[in-house]
Structure 1
Amino acid sequence: MPEKPDTAVALTHRALGIRESDPERARELLGVALALDEEYEPAWRWLAELVDDAGARLFCLDRAYAIKAEPATARARRALGRVTPRPPAEVADLIEPERPAADSGAGAGRTTRRRWIWPVAGAAVVAMCVLLGAVAGFGSTRVEPVYVALVAGMSGDNALASSHMERAVRMHLDSVNAAGGIVGHPVELLVYDDESRADKAVAIAKDIVRDNKVLYVVGHGTSDTALAAAPIYQQAKIPAITPSASSARITDGSGWYFRSMFGNRTQSDFLSVYASRVLGSTTAAVVYDEDEDGRSAHETFRESFGAFGRVTADLPIAAEPGRTAASVDAAVEALRTHSPTAPIVLALKEKTGLAVIDGLRSAGVTAPVLGTSALSSIAFHDSLLRAEADRKRPGSLTANLFMGTPMAQDSLSGPAQIWADAYEHRYGERPLWQAATARQAVKVGLHAMEIGGLGFDGLHRAEDRQRVRDALASLKDRKNAFPALLGPLYFNANGSAQMAVSMVTSDGVRFVSAPVQFTIYEPPSGDALKDGLAKGSVIAVAGRYLSRRQVVGTGINLNEIRDLDTTTGTYFVDFFVWLKYSGDDVAADVQFVNAVKPDLKLGEPLRNVTENGHTYRLYRVADRFKGSLEFRDFPFDRQRLTVLLQNRTQTADQVSYVTDKEILDQDPSEYLRSGADADADINRIPNWIASSVHFFRQTVGSSDALGDGKATGTATGIYYSQYAGEIEIQRDVLPFLIKNLLPLVLLVCVAYLTLFFRASDSGAPVSMGVTAILSTAVLLNNVTSQLPSVSYIVALEWGYYAFILLAAMCVLVAMLRKRFASTKRDAAERALSRAARIGYPAFLLAVVAVFVVAYG
């Protein structure tokens, strides 16, 4: 049997085998493993466990965390506190040696140069300022930009969705470039309009290949255009990520095409299970467009639904404008006698979908309608409402609809909710789901560029594209997922995102999450899978496993917030909370994970109503909560005070808390009004202003096995659904500044007076300057005494430090003026005095301007 070569993995296993008996030898083996593969994170983590020195341990943990940001590693780093990291001896050879010191050139010329030290220093300061200005103003033009292409139907039937894609991509790139770009390179977006036409898509793809600029493509928007362009990108080895084209044929076997949302196979699996297990039907009809999106959705639904029943009608809608209306009429006529309980599945574009739904309801067909993601947007629901208003038939078109979507507006996570609010603030409307998936596409591509070790120049263009493609392909399971807007983003073997399909239904105003949802089930073990299938909690469909998820409509109405203690990070919140759900009452078994009392629960409900299987429960909670406060911008800081609700026993796969429609119907400004007193606001914290309130869901947990030795595959760990109410408050800054900065202003004036003393009277200015420095230190300590012990410098401290520096310069100027006067260098003394008197207020104005720009 041939001898296996030593690898980082093998050496680490050997080290683990002897770590108890021979820890020194184990450390040596780990050092050799890291010499072979410096990016092997487990070796760094185990070396951190085996070293004796705290600084060496922190050094190893820092390296491990830089490779893989695991929560456990982060906790271990924080536990070490303020330790200076230092490399252990076993990996000292991996650290770059110090460079030799430059020759100081000591010799006879030193005395001669000494007289030039002050002019040279002054010139150096001026040159540094000019250099910094040049770098700030012109540095970006010297760095080669990174190009990303966005290709979609900017005109034509998909223009609205495409415009949302472009907005979301530009919005993200603006923030990326403002933060310095990708590895110092600005990112430029090249937008192409393929008009949702396959021939145009081919021409654009060839143009992109010929120009040889872009590192990857975001697009195309439809399956027909993406499928037409895919062979061109694959031959040129340019990675592409479609945010909205759902046909499986785009990514199957490509290796270069990815999808930042689910494909039709996944979507059809979810729709089939919903039709079978929720709507209780063994038959279904399918109406589909005769294009790639429609045909693919039809084919995959027939395949998936075959596990539960049969498709009784296949009704295509012609793509040619002259035949579309006739085929819509034919489909409606064919379904006129359709069973009122059997769902009708629509795989149609928005315009055609509206015509079919209108025709069906006008013909008296009341059967439930299941729709693909193309019919799940805000824009499509708005078109249904307009049609109802035009026909004066409210509720006639929006009733009994169930649409699959990658983004349910009422169940956005915290980051997604913040992004959607920022998008609405910038563009004046809520983002369509295509905006979210486009943002995911561009963001994961930029992530691949950051971690891929790219050359970022024309000579390495082919290698850079290969690295981007390889980095995307490495996101292959939940453990290696990228934290995207709609949840962990990772791809299956065919390059399609592994994500659940959310089912939304209309409440007459908007699409909201349906009471029952399903999620992708990744069994932790074979026994768990067998048990789930036997109980019926796990459903097998087309080689995939889904589990039922209970959706709980959750609402919070705040009464008051008070008693904020910034030193402990605690605060008192009084609020009403209600839960709406169907099914088991385990949904109401919740706890508050950030309560000061670890056992704080909901208590007895104020109202408890169950009708037709739907339960409503209302509670009132009043207690202290805790949060992590951030003081870097003190006293201009904004704090977020949260209340976090989580089920005690059920995981995120079993129960999900989403925003109730009653909250969605409210104007966000109403969140600031007290639920117990409509004439009062919620804020009872002196010297603070409550500026906004947000409600959102989030998922927390760990991908670790958590001690389960039987856990296998990628589905280890446990995750919980949380619901958060977040109150943003900001200091009432003006009274704070008047109270705390007035003594500093007086010291500023006193220090300035020292510049007007005679040069020979240096004793008084020096004494006054030193006194100003000491007094400022005392004032600073008094001002920051209300803060907890923080390891960073807050904004106000920078202002005090700036004045301490200014006072020290005043002392230095006084001493230099006396030196010049005593040596009869009157001209130099006058020039220094004049420069100091002008420079002092100029420096002050510069400091004030920096604060105004940063916090104004």
Structure 2
Amino acid sequence: MALETCVPDGSDTAALSLTNRAVRVRQSDPAQARELLGRALAEDVKYEPAWRWLAELVTDDGERRYCLDKAYAIARDPDTRRARAALGAGPTRPPAEVVLLAKPERPDASGVRKPAGRGRGWVPWAGAAAVVLMLVTGLGFALASGSRSGEPVHVALVAGMTGESATTSAHMERSLRMHTDIINEAGGINGHPVELLVYDDADQPDRARGIAEQIVRENKVMYVIGHGVSDTALAAAPIYQKAKIPAITPSATSSQITDGSDWYFRSMFGNRTQSDFLAAYGAKVLGSDTAAIVYGDNESGRSGRETFVASFRTFGAVAAELPVSYEPERSAATVDAAVQRLRTLAPGVPIVLAVREKLGLEIITKLRTAGVTAPVLGTDSLASRAFHDLLIAREQAQGLQGKLTPGLYMGTPMAQDSLSGPALAWAHEFERRYGERPLWHAATARQALNIGLHLMRDNGYGLDDNHKAEDRQRLRDALGGLKDRKNAFQALLGPLYFTENGSAQMPVSIVTSDGTKFVSAPVQLTIYEPLSEAALRADTAGGHVITIGNRHLTRRQVVATGINLNEVRDVDTRDGTYYMDFFLWLKYVGDHAASDVQFINAVKPDLKLGTPLRDVTENGVTYRLYRVADRFRSSFDFRDFPFDHQRLSAVLQNRTRTSEQVVYATDKEILNQKPDDYLRSGADASRDINQAPNWLARSARFFQQTVGSSDALGDPKAVGATSGIFYSQYAAEVVITRDVLPFLFKNLLPLALLICVTYLSLFFKPSESAAPVSMGVTAILSTAVLLNNVTSQLPSVSYTVALEWGYYAFILLAACCVLIAMVRKGLANVRRDDAERALANSARIGYPVYVLGIVCVYLASFA
């Protein structure tokens, strides 16, 4: 331990003066210096510099520990803490110069006669109770805070918070903060809280480079989420590469970002993948061997043009490659020139837009007002709800209702009507918290955060400053190791794994406008991963596979699915079954295999849809309506019984077609309804769906999900395959809760009476101990009978349900009452009347406090 040669500035006190004199003579006369410091502390025992200098001058470790403890108690200085830690554990004793300042030892009270009377007989019991309470409270705080006591794990978000992409960047930040709150509430990452550091690069490359250099200098973050656009990500990539800091962009699609750095990853598809999908969609779904592309003069636009032209050459020719400028003085002229050129193309030639929102709005407006009705395919920047809102606003402002939204096909990583159950729950929570539905950028940002935090939960990460470089390398290697679907991370939008160049291997969803919002187009493409070379050759020969370079795609039928619940009743908690009655409709383009479905959780394994109530095909679109009424089964969870929430679901799945061939998406009719309307009966709108006595229907939701196996499933021709078999499912899920108040009144009233009767046992005289003992034993037996009666309606479960803990708590209380009665009698027999009265009074106070505490715990947990 080393100190500066002067003490801190302060008032001219005697303690300060004496300490300064000690500092001046400490080399020439250490004994006098110690004596001066003792006098200084006698003047002011809380003068921390004097304790520190005295610790320097003493020669005994025990005395040095004592001085440092005193100094640290006054001022929690890190240097003092380190010096004290270096001395280790051991005895402490005051130096001779300050021995009179130490507190004297307490006298031995073993031989002191206790005074008679009742005035302080309760003190030992109250003191013991206070000690127990403090220990329990301290333990509770330790358990509550111990899991988050480590150094924070810092993650950076870098995006254009004030740039052109401010809206999408705000959604990214909100999504990340929502997820860090959830992670930290659950204890953080291996006990380390997660802290988000937000940087604004304003979508400017120069500013992005400066922020990247700042992140390197600060050396705080474990990894970076960002940057938001391709120009800024490309500018920052070499800096992160050199500093060996992993980065994951949630929205920048230029291929050069990840191609040029093995430390940069992408939590969505890149331009290479997007261009393959858009080219195949234009050629094979829209049926054109010619296309045109309009691209912006930025990195994303140029990369989009380059990759689309390369992809479309597989099917035909790109008739026009038209750049447009983002510079205000040139933008309008370049847009007009592009529109004039597009008007000369043959009717129906698809037009691909690789531009940002504002230019996309102007190009589509001028194309449609010029009479160009060709289909418009857009990249991810034009696939958000925010862009669709701009189109609707422009239609209304210029009197173009229904003119701008038809014929649009936009590529996106997230179609709102095809969200899985977890993704739908996340979207609802985002909307509840922030008042609006999340853009797709929020989902891909959450994936970028979640995959990094998930990988850091593995053993071996130090998660402190001393291991930061090693941890970053380990994280980069773990990200690079996610190379196939079998080893993928189950992220919000599906399995997340990376191509060789670090871009997420995921399909591009094509959305089209229904006039109010973007919805999934009736025909989709998805990534085809064959089980074997023979299967690939067969499917290619049969026209089921589209090959672009080394990528294989297949056509996927999208079935718009809707469910209108009529009623839910006959809930049997013992076998987990219930009766559901609902209307089901399917809308699709293509053959009728889409309606060949089964209900995988039906009690009857052969439950089928039967004959449709309506069956209409117009303009190639089939609409079929069915009514389903039967018993279904779910896995009930009773850990919170009787405050439990049960999920009643009906899940359908195609009998023969995999998720590569058919996917069930939520119909727009369902998306346009309010969630409260889901609980109104489709057969009788005047009543709700809940017809189950003693239960309340809280919410209903409808979503698609994918299930299956990534293994070869025993196929000898599929050795080494990573695709397996997956099926698309569609689920209707109703959340019900017990009508708790009537249940508690009926089942807990006898227990409440027992509690009152048992409390009376504490007021008997010690000589009448037989009665309270008998009352306590009877209460224990009666409680066991009541508990068995309450839980008899549950199936046999291996865990303890919430209500059981309350009964166990009272059994313990009744047992304590028996013990107290016996102890009171024993104290009375040996004439220790004061102790007996203290015990009785403490028990009479502690009993209701204990009961109230149990009630408060239940209220805090389940109210």
What's 1:12 paired with?
A: none
Which whole-Å deviations, capped at 9, do the CAs of 1:88-123 have from their partners, x for residues lacking one?
Answer: xxxxxxxxxxxxxxxxxxxxxxx99xxx99999757
What's 2:666 paired with?
A: 659
What's 2:815 paired with?
A: 808
Alignment of 1:43-54 (within 5 A): none
Q: Among 327, 343, 346, which residue is 1:339 paired with?
A: 346
What's 1:71 paired with?
A: none
CA shift, 1:137, in A, is 6.5
Contact 1:227–1:250 (Cα < 8 Å) also in 2: yes
Q: Among 706, 713, 717, which residue is 2:724 paired with?
A: 717
Contact 1:776–1:804 (Cα < 8 Å) also in 2: yes
SS of residue matched to 1:451: coil
Q: 1:289 is aligned with what amino acid? A: G
Taking a change above 3 Å as real, the CA distance of residues 682 and 544 of structure 1, as seen in their structure-2 partners, is same
CA shift, 1:614, in A, is 1.1
What's 1:70 paired with?
A: none
What's 2:405 paired with?
A: 398
Q: Among 280, 285, 292, which residue is 1:278 paired with?
A: 285
Whether 1:674 and 2:678 are equivalent positions in the alignment is: no
Task: Measure the CA separation in 2 of the matches of 1:834 and 1:119.
Answer: 10
Task: Measure the CA separation in 2 of the matches of 1:117 and 1:441.
Answer: 58
Whether 1:635 and 2:642 are equivalent positions in the alignment is: yes
CA shift, 1:141, in A, is 7.0
SS of residue matched to 1:760: helix
What's 1:163 paired with?
A: 170
Q: Among 422, 442, 446, which residue is 1:435 paired with?
A: 442
What's 1:264 paired with?
A: 271
Q: 1:287 is aligned with what amino acid? A: V
SS of residue matched to 2:457: helix
Q: Among 613, 619, 625, which residue is 1:618 paired with?
A: 625
Alignment of 1:736-755 (within 5 A): 736-755=743-762
The structure that has the greater radius of gyration is 2
Whether 1:178 and 2:185 are equivalent positions in the alignment is: yes
Contact 1:631–1:794 (Cα < 8 Å) also in 2: yes
Whether 1:304 and 2:311 are equivalent positions in the alignment is: yes
Alignment of 1:52-63 (within 5 A): none
Whether 1:766 and 2:773 are equivalent positions in the alignment is: yes
Contact 1:695–1:723 (Cα < 8 Å) also in 2: yes
SS of residue matched to 1:778: helix
Which whole-Å deviations, capped at 9, do the CAs of 1:501-551 have from their partners, x for residues lacking one?
Answer: 000000001100001001101111010000111111001012200011010
Q: 2:794 is aligned with what amino acid? A: L
What's 1:356 paired with?
A: 363
SS of residue matched to 2:768: coil
Contact 2:569–2:690 (Cα < 8 Å) also in 1: yes
Q: 1:270 is aligned with what amino acid? A: F
Which whole-Å deviations, capped at 9, do the CAs of 1:229-278 have from their partners, x for residues lacking one?
Answer: 11111111111111001011111142211100000000000000000001
What's 2:116 paired with?
A: none
Q: Among 568, 572, 575, which residue is 1:561 paired with?
A: 568
Taking a change above 3 Å as real, the CA distance of residues 280 and 564 of structure 1, as seen in their structure-2 partners, is same
Q: 1:415 is aligned with what amino acid? A: P
What's 1:457 paired with?
A: 464
CA shift, 1:472, in A, is 1.2
Which whole-Å deviations, capped at 9, do the CAs of 1:52-89 have from their partners, x for residues lacking one?
Answer: xxxxxxxxxxxxxxxxxxxxxxxxxxxxxxxxxxxxxx
What's 2:859 paired with?
A: 852
What's 2:516 paired with?
A: 509
What's 1:77 paired with?
A: none
Contact 2:146–2:191 (Cα < 8 Å) also in 1: no
What's 2:94 paired with?
A: none
Contact 1:635–1:733 (Cα < 8 Å) also in 2: yes
Contact 1:579–1:588 (Cα < 8 Å) also in 2: yes
Taking a change above 3 Å as real, the CA distance of residues 690 and 134 of structure 1, as seen in their structure-2 partners, is closer
Contact 1:197–1:224 (Cα < 8 Å) also in 2: yes
Q: Is 527-536 or 138-147 further displaced after alignment?
A: 138-147
What's 2:252 paired with?
A: 245
What's 1:146 paired with?
A: 153
Task: Measure the CA separation in 2 of the matches of 1:638 and 1:137.
Answer: 25
Q: Is 245-254 or 713-722 further displaced after alignment?
A: 713-722
Taking a change above 3 Å as real, the CA distance of residues 227 and 167 of structure 1, as seen in their structure-2 partners, is same
Q: Among 467, 473, 489, which residue is 2:474 paired with?
A: 467
CA shift, 1:787, in A, is 0.6
CA shift, 1:133, in A, is 4.3
Taking a change above 3 Å as real, the CA distance of residues 498 and 837 of structure 1, as seen in their structure-2 partners, is same
Which whole-Å deviations, capped at 9, do the CAs of 1:733-759 have from their partners, x for residues lacking one?
Answer: 111111111001001111111111112
Which whole-Å deviations, capped at 9, do the CAs of 1:678-699 have from their partners, x for residues lacking one?
Answer: 2121111001111111000000
Whether 1:215 and 2:222 are equivalent positions in the alignment is: yes
SS of residue matched to 2:352: strand
Whether 1:255 and 2:262 are equivalent positions in the alignment is: yes
Contact 1:381–1:511 (Cα < 8 Å) also in 2: yes
Contact 1:338–1:367 (Cα < 8 Å) also in 2: no
Contact 2:171–2:442 (Cα < 8 Å) also in 1: yes
Q: Among 390, 395, 398, which residue is 1:383 paired with?
A: 390
Whether 1:425 and 2:436 are equivalent positions in the alignment is: no
Which whole-Å deviations, capped at 9, do the CAs of 1:594-642 have from their partners, x for residues lacking one?
Answer: 0000010100111111122111111111111101111111111111100
Contact 1:346–1:369 (Cα < 8 Å) also in 2: yes
Contact 2:147–2:190 (Cα < 8 Å) also in 1: no
Contact 2:148–2:187 (Cα < 8 Å) also in 1: no
Task: Measure the CA separation in 1 of the matches of 2:271 and 2:723.
Answer: 27
Taking a change above 3 Å as real, the CA distance of residues 141 and 651 of structure 1, as seen in their structure-2 partners, is closer
What's 1:49 paired with?
A: none
Task: Measure the CA separation in 2 of the matches of 1:388 and 1:123.
Answer: 72
Task: Measure the CA separation in 1 of the matches of 2:145 and 2:300.
Answer: 47
Contact 1:303–1:542 (Cα < 8 Å) also in 2: no
Task: Measure the CA separation in 1 of the matches of 2:173 and 2:852.
Answer: 41
CA shift, 1:219, in A, is 0.8
Task: Measure the CA separation in 2 of the matches of 1:845 and 1:838.
Answer: 11
- Per the normalisation by structure 1, the TM-score is 0.85
Runs of 5+ unmatched residues, structure 2:
1-109, 112-122
CA shift, 1:662, in A, is 1.2
Alignment of 1:787-802 (within 5 A): 787-802=794-809
Q: 2:666 is aligned with what amino acid? A: T
Whether 1:125 and 2:148 are equivalent positions in the alignment is: no
Q: CA RMSD in A?
A: 1.8
SS of residue matched to 1:430: coil
Taking a change above 3 Å as real, the CA distance of residues 123 and 733 of structure 1, as seen in their structure-2 partners, is closer
Whether 1:188 and 2:213 are equivalent positions in the alignment is: no
Residues matched between the structures, number: 744
Task: Measure the CA separation in 1 of the matches of 2:456 and 2:729.
Answer: 32
What's 2:607 paired with?
A: 600
SS of residue matched to 1:696: strand
SS of residue matched to 2:516: coil
Contact 1:161–1:434 (Cα < 8 Å) also in 2: yes
CA shift, 1:140, in A, is 6.5
Which whole-Å deviations, capped at 9, do the CAs of 1:685-732 have from their partners, x for residues lacking one?
Answer: 001111111000000111121110110344342110000000111111
Runs of 5+ unmatched residues, structure 1:
1-110
Whether 1:644 and 2:651 are equivalent positions in the alignment is: yes
- Per the normalisation by structure 2, the TM-score is 0.84
Q: Is 813-822 or 161-170 further displaced after alignment?
A: 813-822
Taking a change above 3 Å as real, the CA distance of residues 633 and 138 of structure 1, as seen in their structure-2 partners, is closer
Q: 1:554 is aligned with what amino acid? A: T
Q: Among 208, 222, 226, which residue is 1:201 paired with?
A: 208
SS of residue matched to 1:710: helix
